[in-house]
Amino acid sequence: MAVDPRRKAQLVIGLAFLLGAATGGLSTYLLYSQRPQPTYSVSEAANELTKRIGLETAQRTQVEEILSDSRKQYKQVREQMRSQNQTVREATRTKIRTILSPEQQIRFDEWVREIDAKRSQREREESKPK
């Protein structure tokens, strides 16, 4: 049975998209997962700065407030990124499902559940205090 050239082109484009999305997702994951997490608490960073540059009491208080605020901002950015990643992930999955047969969709959905479970486990482990 001959494959329609249009269908073949659609499949090639779809696969190229999927490979690009997977590559982008993997490289983003590797980039951010390999970054060292902050090793200083706000208090520890303020202690270090106090020793190194001689912060006065009022300055130290201000530095602690600034550092606490920046931590909150970083957390918000990570949450926004997580939300955006989820949006892209869901759109990708929807597109993939449209090209699958009903039987393939069932297997795909099982695979997605496994991947999501692994991601959740990894996120739980990463969020544990060290």
pLDDT tens profile 9-67: 888 888 888 888 888 877 777 766 655 555 678 889 899 999 999 999 999 999 999 99
R_g over Cα of the chain: 23
Residue 99 contacts residue 17 (beta carbons within 8 Å): no
In total, how many domains does the chain have? 2
Whether residue 10 is contained in a domain is answered as: no
- CA quadruple 94, 98, 99, 103: dihedral positive or negative? positive
Residues 81 and 45 in one domain: yes
Residues 45 and 86 in one domain: yes
The tokens 């099982």 sit on which residue?
A: 110
Distance (Å, whole) CA 122 – CA 1: 45
pTM over 0.75: no
Residues 126 and 105 in one domain: yes
Residues 81 and 106 in one domain: no
With CA atoms as reference, report the closest residue to 72 among 80, 83, 60: 80
**Residue 122 lies in domain:** 100-130
